Structure 1
Amino acid sequence: MSDQAHFDRLSERFGRNIYDTPKGRIRLHFLQQDLQALLEQDSELLILDAGGGQGQFARHCASLGHRVVLCDLSEQMLDAADQLNREQGLEDRIELVRDSIENFCHHDTRQYQLILCHAVLEWVQESEPLLQALTQRLGNAGRLSLMYYNRHSIVLRNALRGNFRKALSDQFGGDGGGLTPTHAREPQQIDSQLQALGMSIEAQLGVRCFYDYLPPKVRQTYAFEDILELEQRFRDQLPYRQMARYIHLIAAKTQQ
């Protein structure tokens, strides 16, 4: 199944299971917090949302006065984005492009002050070609906001659940038919690849350091705000950020 067909089929489930849940709210909350200083500056930014799906974060950026190019391969994802953009009166600030990220970056000539690539890296076979394509579209001192599925968390979660064979197998990808990513990433490898591309990592934070490990009874006992406070307290500290379900890093392109 092609990537486009896969996400076309999952478009409705994606919105329901990713963003309309506490884990999705945690993810969106921290992405907005981490990028607040960049997005609330006075100047208008040109932003590329690479693999932005239904445009939840693109609309957040557009609502703050920025211009966003949302590139995604799924037609159904972009149809949903277009409808939601219009409902919120943001269609003039968000340009929708249906293409693969690498192909778009190869043909587009614009330089972006900020590129968003959230929960995309884990769906491609090789991470380096995608990172290279993205960094080529960054202007000098431009920022890359990269969030990816953390391999360490998959090992730990399987061990805690007693899935020892899977934890030892080094095979952590989903079967390609659902929302479980196919290629969890090792943080040190991603850091090395970015540095080799002339990127300087400015911030590195965990997204859901604890939530995915909590038993259902604990999730139901505590208020969402209490869980959020716990996540906030430890997400920038080692070893907790290395256990997070996702790693969010912000990297700057070195002046050339």
Structure 2
Amino acid sequence: MKKINFIVILLLMNVLAVSAQEVIRLYKGKAPGSEKWNWDEKVITDPATGNHSVLNVSTPTLTVYKPAPANANGSAVIICPGGAFHVLDIDNEGYNVAKILAQKGFTAFVLKYRLLHLNPNNPFAGMADKMKDFKKFESIMDEDVPLAVNDGKAAMDYVKNNAAVYKIDPAKVGIIGFSAGGTVAAGIAYAKEPAVRAAFVAAIYPYLSPFAANQVPADAAPLFIAVAQDD
């Protein structure tokens, strides 16, 4: 009986630890450039896998995952999940990545950046319908790129300005993004403002068309890109 009670207590502690993650709003009021967006954020669950996706983000946030103090290495990583600027694969490309990085000593920040609107009642069907004409779909995605990149810049600015709070070195703040999140990470790689420059950048199967005409800065941060041959 004591063993069962101990297991129950451990499970409860685990649940409380997950639910107690610090969440930071990146803007005091409405996010600049999308002041008229009035839709509600929604989380949906895949019944087959239990994985979660986030829709209709209009209020960008950071969710913080801290390492154990004895394991902290003083570095931080901002994580940008992907989803074609319409959804966020928040578990696979967000929270799960953050947990692994925290175990390795990094302070991790999962970014929910602004997303284009989807009908929450049937989101993936609506997205699939848009993707039938991929050129048109690209033009739709490109509408959100500047807003999402600005959210990435706001996240970088926040983390650096609050480095002392999280016991990190502001010169050791990097960013990693997946798919559309890789676009956000690339936007940080091209950023000219010193306040939002990253120490290192990783773009995993990124969408880079918006930056096709950009020149790589002479002092660009180290960049890692990974793509699949069949992607």
Q: TM-score band, normalised by the shorter chain? A: 0.3 to 0.5
Structure with greater helix percent: 1
Given the two structures, how large is their TM-score scaled by the length of structure 2? 0.37
Provide TM-score, normalisation by structure 1: 0.34
